[in-house]
Amino acid sequence: MPVVALTAALRRFLPIPSVRVGGATVAAALDALFADSPGLRGYLLDDQGALRRHVAIYVNGAPVADRALLSDPVQPADEIHVFQALTGG
């Protein structure tokens, strides 16, 4: 089962650094994550289910190619990292 790792700022929704989830695509893995943390969905995805502009997802160090449907495939040993953009100065 793939592992989803969240940045520290996102742990307010899921207070653990990473979690194993089921799913053969990024979308399916996120759906499994949202089952335990429904508040995270609205922060990561827009009302159409696409990745929000301020969020980046990487699978094994490579950015997801499909930000709209999140159809990038994942394997059981993959690591999915979820980041949010930071601003300031």
Each residue's pLDDT tens digit, 40-80: 899 899 999 999 999 999 999 999 999 999 999 999 999 99
Q: Tell me which H or E stretch contains 62.
A: strand 62-63
Q: Give the Cβ contact number of residue 49 at 10 Å.
A: 13
Q: Give the Cβ contact number of residue 54 at 10 Å.
A: 12
Mean of pLDDT values over 12-29: 89
Please say whether the beta carbons of 6 and 33 come within 8 A. no
Q: What percent of the chain is predicted at pLDDT more than 70?
A: 97
CA–CA dist 84, 89 (Å, integer)? 16
In the chain the domains, ranked by start, together with CATH numbers, are 3-84 (3.10.20.30)
For residue 13, pLDDT over 90 is answered with no
